[in-house]
Amino acid sequence: MVMATSTTRRDRPEAANRLLAYFIHHLQSLIFSLGKIYTAPTTTIMTVAVIGITLSLPSGFYVFLKNIEAMSGDLSSSTQISLYLDLNINETVALKLSKKLAHQANVQETKFISRDSALLSFRQSSGFGKSIDTLSSNPLPHTIIVIPKRSSDRFVIKNLLNSLQSLAEVKLAKLDTEWLERLFTILEIAKRAVGIITLLFAFAVLLIIGNTIRLDIQNRYQEIIVTKLIGATNAFIRRPFLYGGLWYGLLGGIISWLIVELGYLAISGPLERLNLLYQSELDLVTFSLQDFIILLTSSALLGLFGSWIAVAKHLNQIEPK
């Protein structure tokens, strides 16, 4: 009737089995913690929703910024550089230069405007026709319009401008960059603002998850005491709580992703129309796969970290009495 019990060395599981059992236990706690979440749906849904909403703000801003940035990139590539050539450059040389520049890297195309055609169009458009006729010679230089490649960012354009300016034939290379600079500065500020918002909201998520796990620890006080008395290590007791935090973070991340995608759907109609109005070829974007992975990974890690703080603070204080 009695089980074979002996006071000699007991048949403990051997090392390889222990390692396997260790991984199995990790898997079990992972699934068990998900099960806990499943069996306490109200609190879990509340927590996950709060985390999701909290995270949706910085991620929504991020997507917004991403679109603005794409739009500004589009604008910067629609800029052009006007090269006013030296007056003593003749038309053949100027035309040759224009063709040569068209083949340069970072240049989409060039347009050549001869001094004669420039004068002609000036005469027609300015209304100074009569007075221009009194001039003994044409005061306008040959002009080459250089259009940078679409993909060029502002540094590439700056470099291009400098290299064009240094050409011997070019008297003046002109790019109206002021408004672009302004736009990029605003973008830079917006990016930092998103950075700060992200940090603040990540901290909020940390607090939310920390508090949820703290309550979870309190609710399972008895269980913790009993398992400690039976010989559970702190690492063993910690594990399900850490995984619980991981799940909260991950599920919250998915919710925030859904919120942003839905928000995007809601505004994509008017945005599309705006796009048409400006005849921009811009495609609107949401999360890329990479963004999605980064969002979920960081929200899961936030959850893990938040629960880790709660566990470090509250779990080790619980000792059987």
Give the interface with other proteins as residue ranges (CB under 8 A): 1-7, 10, 12-13, 17-18, 20-22, 24-25, 222-223, 225-234, 236, 319-321
Q: Which is nearer to other proteins, 33 or 76 (CB)?
A: 33
Residue 284: name the closest of 249, 258, 260 by CA: 260
Q: Which is nearer to other proteins, 27 or 258 (CB)?
A: 27
Closest approach of Cβ 207 to other proteins, in Å?
A: 28
Reported for 176-180, long-range contacts at CB under 8 A and 24+ positions apart, including other chains, are 176/79, 177/79, 180/72, 180/75, 180/76, 180/79, 180/154
Q: Which is nearer to other proteins, 175 or 311 (CB)?
A: 311
Structure tokens at 228: 């400690």
Burial 34-73 (b: 16+ CB within 10 A, else e): bebbeeeeeebeebbebbbebbbbbbbbbbbebbeeebbb
Helix (H, G, I), strand (E, B) or coil at 315: coil
Tell me the C-alpha to C-alpha distance, in Å, between residue 312 and each of 3, 28, 222, 250, 254: 40, 22, 18, 21, 27
Q: Which is nearer to other proteins, 1 or 276 (CB)?
A: 1
Closest approach of Cβ 222 to other proteins, in Å?
A: 7
Q: Which is nearer to other proteins, 156 or 232 (CB)?
A: 232
Angstrom distance (rounded) from CA 157 to CA 145: 14
Dihedral of CA 82/85/91/97: which sign?
A: negative
The residue type found at 110 is T
- Which residue's entry shows tokens 């927590």? 47
Say if CB 224 and CB 237 are below 8 A apart. Answer: yes
Closest approach of Cβ 208 to other proteins, in Å?
A: 25
Closest approach of Cβ 210 to other proteins, in Å?
A: 24
Q: Which is nearer to other proteins, 13 or 41 (CB)?
A: 13
Closest approach of Cβ 30 to other proteins, in Å?
A: 15
Q: Which is nearer to other proteins, 12 or 130 (CB)?
A: 12
Structure tokens at 73: 């990139």
Q: Which is nearer to other proteins, 109 or 223 (CB)?
A: 223
Closest approach of Cβ 221 to other proteins, in Å?
A: 12
Closest approach of Cβ 215 to other proteins, in Å?
A: 16
Closest approach of Cβ 38 to other proteins, in Å?
A: 13
Dihedral of CA 245/248/252/254: which sign?
A: positive
Say if CB 256 and CB 52 are below 8 A apart. Answer: yes
